[in-house]
């Protein structure tokens, strides 16, 4: 029997303090899966059978409208869980959201029944799950607020900074940025042209280079 130390479990804030016997259940009854980039992990007609705890990579959860437009709802990163999915698979399976591996992904997959077991047995695991829900839901509230009330130029500046991270290059097409923000490609093109005119960015096919971070930051944080 393993001692359940130094396992992937400890990479998850909120799981590392689990009781040892719970950790063992988690370790013994979950499997580590590897998923190549761009795999559809769940979606309409493809209900997820497992709760995924991401060890590396990221998963993009997006919604497709009937008219073929799409919007990105949130991302799941390493150290986080696809927990909303779990709820959704229990009932309303007919929603149109889908989860896609954005990079190669490694994850611990917990079967539905084991998940149920853990929820029943461990107060700490329950807390972990409901905390994850909480974060996702507040994220969704934020998305709604941004779509409804914020200006596109501000949202685009924020998204560019977010996607650039510590670097300066954002490798993405205008079309993809449009999906990020739930708008049309032309709108992105025009905004980026304006950013370029202000010498905040330079553009090349399939990429945006940030050359004046400050400018974007000022716009991004100008509340209103």
Biggest CA-to-CA distance, the chain: 64
Question: Taking the mean position of all CA atoms in its chain, how far away is CA 106?
Answer: 14
Site string for DNA, 63-102 (x = CB under 7 A): ------x---------------------------------
Q: Which residue, 97 or 163, is less far from a copy of itself as judged by CB?
A: 97
153 binds, among a copy of itself, DNA, none (CB under 5 to 8 A by kind): DNA
Question: Taking the mean position of all CA atoms in its chain, how far away is CA 1?
Answer: 35
Q: Which residue, 11 or 190, is less far from DNA as judged by CB?
A: 190
Give me the residues that bind a copy of itself (CB under 8 A), please. Answer: 63, 65-67, 69, 71, 73, 84, 86-88, 90-92, 95-97, 116, 119-121, 123, 126-127, 130-131, 133-135, 137-138, 140-141, 143-145, 147-149, 182-183, 223-224
Select the residue interacting with DNA from 103, 121, 189, 202 (CB under 7 A): 189
Q: Exposed, middle or buried, 200 (CB in 10 Å: 0-12/13-18/19+)?
A: buried
Residues 14-29 as b/e (b if ≥16 CB within 10 A, e otherwise) read ebeebeeebbbbbeee
Distance CA 116, CA 121 (A): 9
């Amino acid at each position: 029997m393993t001692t359940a130390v130094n396992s992937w479990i400890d990479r998850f804030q909120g799981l590392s303090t689990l009781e040892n016997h719970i950790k063992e259940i988690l370790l013994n009854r979950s499997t580590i899966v590897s998923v190549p980039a761009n795999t559809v992990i769940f979606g309409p007609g493809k209900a997820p059978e497992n709760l995924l705890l991401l060890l590396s990579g990221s998963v993009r959860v997006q919604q497709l409208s009937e008219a073929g437009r799409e919007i990105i709802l949130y991302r799941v990163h390493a150290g986080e869980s696809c927990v909303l999915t779990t709820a959704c698979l229990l009932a309303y399976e007919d929603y149109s959201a889908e989860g896609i591996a954005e990079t190669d992904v490694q994850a611990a997959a917990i079967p539905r029944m084991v998940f149920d077991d853990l929820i029943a047995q461990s107060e700490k695991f329950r807390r972990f799950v409901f905390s994850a829900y909480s974060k996702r839901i507040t994220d969704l509230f934020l998305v709604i607020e941004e779509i409804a009330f914020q200006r596109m130029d501000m949202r685009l500046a924020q998204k560019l900074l977010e996607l650039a991270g510590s670097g300066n290059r954002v490798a993405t097409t205008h079309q993809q940025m449009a999906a990020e923000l739930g708008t049309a490609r032309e709108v992105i093109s025009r905004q980026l042209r304006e950013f370029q005119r202000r010498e905040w960015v330079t553009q090349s096919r399939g990429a945006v280079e940030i050359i004046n971070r400050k400018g974007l930051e000022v716009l991004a944080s100008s509340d209103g």
